[in-house]
Amino acid sequence: MFESYKFTVTEKFLRYVQIDTQSNPDSPTHPSTDKQKTLSNLLANELKTMGITDAHSDEYGYVYATIPSNVNKNVPTVCFCSHVDTAPDCSGTNVKPIVHNGYNGSDIVLPDDSTQVLSINKYPYLKNHIGHDIITASGNTLLGADDKAGVAVIMDLANYLITHPEIKHGTIKILFTPDEEIGAGTAKLDLIKLGADVAYTLDGGEVGTLEDETFSADGVTITVNGVIAHPGYGKNKLVNAIKIVGEIAAALPANEWSPETTEKREGFVHPVQIEGIAEKASISFIIRDFETAKLAEYESRLKAIAEKVLANHPKATMTFEVKEQYRNMKEVLQHHPHITTYAEEAYKRAGLSVVKEPIRGGTDGSRLSFMGLPCPNLFTGMQAIHSKHEWIGVKDMEKAVETLVHLVQVWEERN
């Protein structure tokens, strides 16, 4: 099926990563940075050139496009989605992608900063790519495989379907979103306009991985009100909120319950910010677990720890505020198991064994699932994301395109 196909995914990928699309968590606008629209506009035009007539990007930087069904039956509308922005953690300006043809297994020193070295020791997955082409950045920036690999894979799927009308499929929707990296990827999404029944994000790592489970997530802020007095005359009066907040942080368990002591299916409570003055100070946490019910347990344990500290400072008061952030997509997807099993079937047809691992984080897919568009996450091959070491194997991206071509056919056959 693919022997004679000239994949376009790599050529597209190399062009897209050179466009700076970094998002900005401190910006109040949508998209958070205007430059993301440069890529969105380019993608919409490229889709149009392929013959996808309704392709367009909107004022918020979203790209919508439809590949019409080519069969006479009712197949659910399947959307493929990825994000155009790159992470604020690492520069995305002047990305210079380097293709290492036939990677030979030795260390790769990135030319613009020789202290940046990729080795098999550090990235064992490089071993799977010996003899194949891999792509890295040049040392000063991230590569942007997260998620331009997903974008390029979906664009090549479109190219494949347009040039292979014999492949039977239902209506396919293409969606590119801005600002995923700052948690705002669905902020201005028009689900009615999108008109999809199910979706898949292309935002995963190693070939064969399939993610249908994410953390459930809350945020907690504990605010302590002390008692202020002139420090020169504060004896037996002044109660310092900063010190109390410090005591709360120090009272957290040292060997459990934190990101640095947990893995796999274990949840955690993680202080992320302290701010304040002597009179009033606050400490903010992120609370994570795969079971949503556990979040409330963690929150009451955390509250008890804080109250115990406050008990030693009877004149101080505190407030404990919980904010829901996102929920495990499994809670939605378990009611639609075929969405995952069809993907598993497509992986098998592409010759892959399926690796299912829960994501210790969230994705646009978690939010989309709870907005009514059930949405697991599929692999693209991206590695060492959000860093100068970010890299990707060409054969993984091509395998992702192949998998999507199988997937649209599975949907057509089973409905």
CB 55 within 8 A of CB 44: yes
Quick one: 147 or 218, whose CB is closer to Zn ion? 147
If one counts every other C-beta atom within 10 angstroms of the C-beta of residue 22, the result is 22
Q: Provide, rounded to whole angstroms, the least separation between the CB of residue 127 and Zn ion.
A: 24
Q: Provide, rounded to whole angstroms, the least separation between the CB of residue 364 and Zn ion.
A: 8
Quick one: 147 or 197, whose CB is closer to Zn ion? 147
> Is 297 one of the catalytic residues?
no
Beta-carbon contacts of residue 266 (< 8 Å; ≥ 6 apart): none
CB 174 within 8 A of CB 24: no
> Is 218 one of the catalytic residues?
no
Q: Does the protein bind Zn ion through residue 345 (CB under 5 A)?
A: no
Query: Site for Zn ion (CB under 5 A): which residue of 146, 213, 345, 412?
Result: 146
Among the listed ranges 199-207, 209-217, 227-235, 291-299, the one in contact with Zn ion (CB under 5 A) is: 199-207
Pairing of strands 78-83, 172-177: parallel
Residue 124 burial by CB count (10 A; 0-12/13-18/19+): exposed, middle or buried? exposed
> Within 284-323, which residues bind Zn ion (CB under 5 A)?
none
Among the listed ranges 9-17, 32-40, 140-148, 404-412, the one in contact with Zn ion (CB under 5 A) is: 140-148
Q: Is the dihedral of CA 301, 305, 306, 308 positive or negative?
A: positive
Q: Does the protein bind Zn ion through residue 203 (CB under 5 A)?
A: yes
Among the listed ranges 35-43, 203-211, 313-321, 351-359, the one in contact with Zn ion (CB under 5 A) is: 203-211
CB 259 within 8 A of CB 268: yes
Q: Provide, rounded to whole angstroms, the least separation between the CB of residue 380 and Zn ion.
A: 9
Q: Provide, rounded to whole angstroms, the least separation between the CB of residue 183 and Zn ion.
A: 11
Quick one: 147 or 211, whose CB is closer to Zn ion? 147
Quick one: 180 or 412, whose CB is closer to Zn ion? 180
Given 20, 85, 212, 289, which residue is catalytic? 85
Given 180, 197, 213, 289, which residue is catalytic? 180
Task: Give the whole-angstrom CA distance, residue 285 versus residue 272.
Answer: 5
Task: Give the whole-angstrom CA distance, residue 233 versus residue 286.
Answer: 38
Quick one: 169 or 288, whose CB is closer to Zn ion? 288
Task: Give the whole-angstrom CA distance, residue 108 versus residue 100.
Answer: 9
If one counts every other C-beta atom within 10 angstroms of the C-beta of residue 240, the result is 21
Q: Count of residues binding Zn ion (CB under 5 A)? A: 3
The type of residue at 394 is V
Q: Does the protein bind Zn ion through residue 211 (CB under 5 A)?
A: no
In angstroms, how far apart are the furthest CA atoms of the chain? 86
If one counts every other C-beta atom within 10 angstroms of the C-beta of residue 337, the result is 10
Query: Site for Zn ion (CB under 5 A): which residue of 147, 211, 345, 412?
Result: 147
Task: Give the whole-angstrom CA distance, residue 207 versus residue 128.
Answer: 10
Q: Provide, rounded to whole angstroms, the least separation between the CB of residue 82 and Zn ion.
A: 8
Task: Give the whole-angstrom CA distance, residue 284 versus residue 303.
Answer: 12
Q: Provide, rounded to whole angstroms, the least separation between the CB of residue 12 and Zn ion.
A: 17
Among the listed ranges 4-12, 132-140, 161-169, 198-206, the one in contact with Zn ion (CB under 5 A) is: 198-206
Tokens of 285: 């946490």
Quick one: 147 or 398, whose CB is closer to Zn ion? 147
Among the listed ranges 5-13, 145-153, 208-216, 327-335, the one in contact with Zn ion (CB under 5 A) is: 145-153
Q: Provide, rounded to whole angstroms, the least separation between the CB of residue 83 and Zn ion.
A: 6
**Could you give the residue numbers annotated as active site?**
85, 180
Contacting positions for Zn ion (CB under 5 A)? 146-147, 203
